[in-house]
Amino acid sequence: MTDALVDTNWVAKHVNDSNVRLIEIDWDGLEDYNTGHIPGAIGWNWKSALWDQTDRQFPTDDDFCARMSNAGVSNNTTVVFYGAPVQFGTYAWWVLKLFGHTDVRILDGGQVKWEKEGRPIAKDIPEIVLEKYTIKNKRMEIRAGRDHVLAEMNNSNCSILDHRSGEEYSGSRVGLPGKLDVGAERYGRIPGATHVPFDSLLNDDTTFKTIDQLTYIIGSLVPDKSGQIISYCRLAHRATLASFVMTELLGYKNVRVYDGSWTEWGSIVGVPIER
């Protein structure tokens, strides 16, 4: 097990450390955060914190540095994320890895497990001391664009993994089950993609399954830990959770997240689709 996954005891012990920043990532505004959060956590909305203000792209280097500084994060800060829901925390983990942040971690089980253990919940917003932040050693090799997917689609040495629901993978939906069925013009999957639902990697309390269980789920499909892997879902959140499992918990070396995912692929003119 890697230091990138921390438990509730670790957070309770370290959340007030000056070199630790706990951040809740909300999927829709900051409603969940304002309702109640783990004491010491600040709140980020995933899109406003991790995307460009206008473009379907990540923030510029200057904007990213400003957002980190305003969150009280320096290059030496240990950043711990938890998501509402869980996959938004791993999305933030992945974006910080992309920008080269050295020490970024995930709280196993997040607030779900925290509350089940009877731990306190707060509504106050912590005071933030601004820090200086600079970008060093961006890791663009962990990101895949559509051209890379097209180039590797028929490569027998590259595994493409689809982490959506069964309904999305089979082509009966383009949106999450239980939500509006929107998000792309066409239904289906990238040809040759193997189905590995993201929630198959989690327990009911949103903690990650054991290493043996994860090894069985992933390793039975992709035994070569040095081979190329491209992960995708609908908007990349679920794919980043699988990437976290593979790279941080299981030791896979060459995993890329296709962050355009099905919202892009299912609407591109001329790309192949399998159903």
How much is the pLDDT for 227?
Answer: 95
Identify whether 85 is preceded by a cis peptide bond (ω within 30 of 0): yes
Asked if 158 is an active-site residue, the reply is no
CA nearest neighbour of 140 among 130, 132, 129, 148: 148
pLDDT the model gives residue 214: 98
The pLDDT tens digits of the residues spanning 121-133 come to 999 999 999 999 9
Q: Considering just the CA atoms, what is the radius of gyration of the chain in Å?
A: 18
Q: At what angle do helices 86-98 and 237-244 cross, to 10 degrees?
A: 70
pLDDT for 180: 93
Would you say residue 1 has pLDDT above 70? no
pLDDT at 260: 98
Domains of the chain: 5-138 (3.40.250.10), 141-265 (3.40.250.10)
What is the pLDDT at residue 157? 94
Q: 225 and 250 in contact (C-beta within 8 Å)? A: yes
Residues 6+ apart with CB under 8 A from 84: 24, 25, 26, 27, 32, 33, 110, 111
Question: Stretch 148-169: mean pLDDT, rounded?
Answer: 97
Region of 226 (left: φ > 0; alpha: ψ -120 to 50; beta: rest) is alpha
| Model pLDDT for residues 69-78, shown as the tens digit of each residue | 999 999 999 9
Please state, for a pLDDT cut of 90, what percent of the chain lies above it. Answer: 99
Average pLDDT, the chain: 97
Residue with tokens 């097209």: 150
* Chain center to CA of 160: 17
Residues 59, 4: Cα–Cα separation, whole Å: 24
pLDDT at 228: 97
Give residue-wise pLDDT tens across range 5-15.
999 999 999 99
Taking residues 196-225, what's their average pLDDT? 97
- The answer to whether residue 2 scores a pLDDT higher than 90 is no
E-state strands within the chain: 5-6, 20-26, 42-45, 78-84, 104-107, 143-144, 158-162, 194-195, 228-232, 255-258
Catalytic site residue from 49, 193, 233, 257: 233
Residue 108: pLDDT band by 50, 70, 90 thresholds? very high
pLDDT tens by residue, 214-265: 999 999 999 999 999 999 999 999 999 999 999 999 999 999 999 999 999 9
**Partners of 189 in the beta sheet?**
274
